[in-house]
């Protein structure tokens, strides 16, 4: 039998275990799949005639999604290791709906996350996680959807990724850069060399330490708020 190209590219196949082709599940990967983790309130409230029962504005929907994304991203990065990228599917097909793909910087962090997450719950539901063969999301995404031209709507077999707000993207993917502010003062012979410059460097170090402490306090508060969901 030949390998399933959909499973290899997307980490999911609409035929599931009934697929006539081989699903080669990786033994190591940077990417973790959290199956059907995101429950879109609009999808949950969809009726047979296609209307929606959820009376939420677009702004409220975006805020709901941003809160979910931040909860998951921060929890996983704090517990398991640095995340390169995280993506959430906006598809409606059973094999893709609500799927969350988390690409860690290190394979060992992904392995650790899978082992632990399968024993955890999120928002009242058990988490189902596995290593995914997907590492290049450009190949997995629907190009027609990105151009606003996909005719298969939510039932496309390529990923339709749900975007987070720009502000949240800057905040989450800038976390490491913000918290890794250098507190070192250059050695003698390196810039700064003057007494005034050295004093400025010390002041900058103290200020950076204060910023780092403030961020740590904020992240601690965020973790306490998330504790009720994980």
- Exposed e or buried b per residue across 123-159, where buried means at least 16 C-beta atoms within 10 angstroms of its C-beta: eeeebebbbbbbeebeebbbeebeeeebeeebebbbb
Which tokens go with 160?
């339709």
**Distance in angstroms (rounded) separating the CA atoms of residues 144 and 102:** 23
How high is the pLDDT of residue 72?
Answer: 96
Residue-level pLDDT at 63: 95
Give kind and range of the element (H or E) at residue 180: none
The architecture of the domain spanning 24-45+57-173 is 2-Layer Sandwich (3.30)
Q: Which residues pair with 121 in a beta bridge?
A: 126
Q: Of the ranges 78-92, 146-160, 206-220, which one carries the lowest mean pLDDT score?
A: 206-220
Write the CA distances from 220 to 76, 94, 123, 170, 229, integer angstroms.
14, 36, 20, 19, 15
Lowest mean pLDDT among 37-46, 47-56, 109-118, 146-155: 47-56
Predicted confidence at residue 41, as pLDDT, reads: 85
- Look at the block and give the residue holding tokens 């504005």: 57
- In 3D space, the residue among 12, 221, 213, 13 whose CA is nearest the CA of residue 131 turns out to be 12
Who contacts 162 (Cβ-Cβ below 8 Å, separation ≥6)?
Answer: 38, 65, 88, 89, 90
Residue 105 exposure: Cα atoms within 13 Å on the Cβ side: 8
Q: Residue 189: its pLDDT value, please?
A: 43
Tokens of 64: 């709901």
Check whether 156 has a pLDDT greater than 70: yes
CB-CB contact of 97 with 14 (8 Å): no
Please give the C-alpha separations between residue 218 and each of 94, 164, 177, 194, 215, in angstroms, as whole numbers: 37, 21, 16, 36, 5
How far is Cα 216 from Cα 230, in angstroms, rounded to an integer? 20
Residue count (the chain): 230
Q: Are 17 and 95 in contact (CB under 8 A)?
A: no
Choice between 55 and 218, residue whose per-residue pLDDT is larger: 55
| Average pLDDT value for residue range 82-97 | 94
Q: What is the pLDDT of residues 186-203, one digit of tens each?
A: 444 444 334 344 444 444
Residue with the two structure tokens 């929890």: 75
pLDDT of res. 85: 96
C-alpha closest to that of 93 among 10, 24, 30, 149: 10
């Amino acid at each position: 039998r030949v390998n399933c190209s959909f499973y290899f590219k997307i980490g999911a196949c609409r035929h599931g275990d009934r697929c006539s082709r081989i699903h080669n599940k990786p033994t190591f990967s940077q990417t973790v799949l959290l199956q059907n983790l995101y429950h879109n309130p609009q999808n949950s409230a969809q009726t047979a005639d296609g209307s929606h029962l959820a009376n939420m504005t677009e702004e409220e929907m975006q805020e709901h999604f941003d809160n979910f994304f931040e909860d998951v991203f921060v929890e996983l990065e704090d517990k398991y290791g640095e995340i390169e990228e995280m993506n959430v599917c906006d598809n409606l097909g059973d094999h893709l709906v609500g799927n969350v793909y988390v690409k860690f910087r290190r394979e060992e962090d992904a392995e650790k996350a899978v082992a632990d997450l399968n024993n955890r719950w999120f928002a009242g539901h058990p988490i189902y996680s596995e290593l995914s063969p997907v590492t290049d999301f450009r190949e997995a995404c629907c190009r027609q959807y990105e151009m606003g031209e996909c005719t298969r709507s939510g039932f496309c077999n390529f990923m339709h990724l749900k975007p987070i707000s720009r502000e949240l993207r800057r905040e989450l993917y800038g976390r490491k850069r913000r918290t890794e502010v250098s507190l070192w003062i250059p050695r003698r012979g390196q810039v700064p060399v003057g007494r005034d410059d050295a004093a400025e460097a010390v002041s900058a170090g103290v200020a950076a330490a204060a910023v780092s402490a403030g961020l740590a306090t904020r992240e601690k508060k965020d973790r306490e708020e998330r504790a009720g969901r994980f």
